[in-house]
Structure 1
Amino acid sequence: MVMCWKRSENHLEEAQCTDGGPTASPQSHFPHKTFWLSLSASLLLVIIALGLTGHLGLSKPSSQPLQIVRITVPDEAGVAINQSTVVDQQNDLVTFSVTSPANQTSTILFDIKNGLICYKPVEQDSCFLRKMEQSDYDKVHSLLHESTHKSHFQLSGNETQRQTEFLGVLADSQVEVSTLEEPLQALCQDRSVHWTRRAEGPGKQRLVYFCIDICFPSNVCVSVCFYYLPE
């Protein structure tokens, strides 16, 4: 047995030691414990950092807010007409609200994603659909891509082109509202819906039932007139 000495308060005392050296005191383990605590804390920080990175990487981009664009244009008599347009870039929707002199509002919805235009005239209890053509995409292009920079378009009367389009309502063309996409359902939920197609004109034997005037930022105003095609 190896004898060791340890210091007491004011003198040395004999103490028993093992063959491997003096008995380890509890304080001798502290460095190892500190090492493991430090390693655990580092791993925890790495896990949190990875979790935040993954969360940010998988998070969806913030939705773009709806924008209201106003279009002012003088009519043929020179009286200013105010028209409001709601642009939903995230869902590729452009909604026109056209108010008549009698303070009644008709709605025209351009559903660019599905290639459809839906007319909801205030004078009727029906909605009318037609498929978009290239000229329709061109007309709403500036609203989708320039409205982020401009909220008001002032159109000049002497530079504005005025057009008239005739749409014939097809016989037996009623559409079940529940089969339409959500924007169209919301717009026409309380009305019947009918398909229409472009036509040269109603002819003398047919009457024009109503017209909707709509203006675009490209200095083009269109009067869309509806009539019912023969059975």
Structure 2
Amino acid sequence: MITCVAVVPYPPLLVPALTVRADAETARLRGACSRAVSSLTECAAEWVAVGADRSGPTVLGPDSAGTFEGFGADVRVTLGGTAPTDPALPLPALITGLLREQAGARSASVRLLAPDTPAEESRRLGESLAAESTGLLVLADGTNCSDERSPHPPDERAGQLDEQIRTALAEVDTNRLRDLDPRLCAELGVEGRAALQVLPGVVAASGGTWRGELLYSATPHGVTYHVATWTRQP
């Protein structure tokens, strides 16, 4: 049964080789992600990761490998095996491989959902995953249009949406995650919405009491990132 979850963003700036010198905020973000996945490995040596990508729905096994060469540095990562490098491995899988190696997890499989996956389908996936004896890694960024540094024009709705996600992760509020509006999330850049909506299904199927810890929530370079852990209490 899944008893531990880590929620992390998946920007390329998590890769040290892609930045000449990380600023203080980037260092804080990387540190929070490291703490989240380290706690996941303490709970389970094998992970299942869930993210969203236009290539989905698809499943990538532990033998998958890729490189960040397309982002500026030939940093090679694997999900646990020794397969040849796939230059087209999607970013959520690349970040999973990077974090897996940093945390010392044995292996990870990655389930990629289409960004427009309905909430009910995400919930059903969560229910089906709940019985697995693994740690769960959820990859999702926040909004990308919150201020003048954002890659898209500022949108006054971004702050409220990020607060909804932030509160849900801090309080293990599955209702807030279930209520995320797919259209609004798409408009404000939250492509990982479908991955976040896997969590209500996991919690419902697992039962028990869960404790959440928000490790990071900020907008360092115009994109909001949230890092959190959820743990099922004995």
Higher-RCO chain (CA-CA 8 Å, sequence separation at least 6): 2
Higher helix share: 2
More strand by share: 1
- TM-score with structure 2 length normalisation? 0.25
Rg larger in 1 or in 2?
Answer: 1
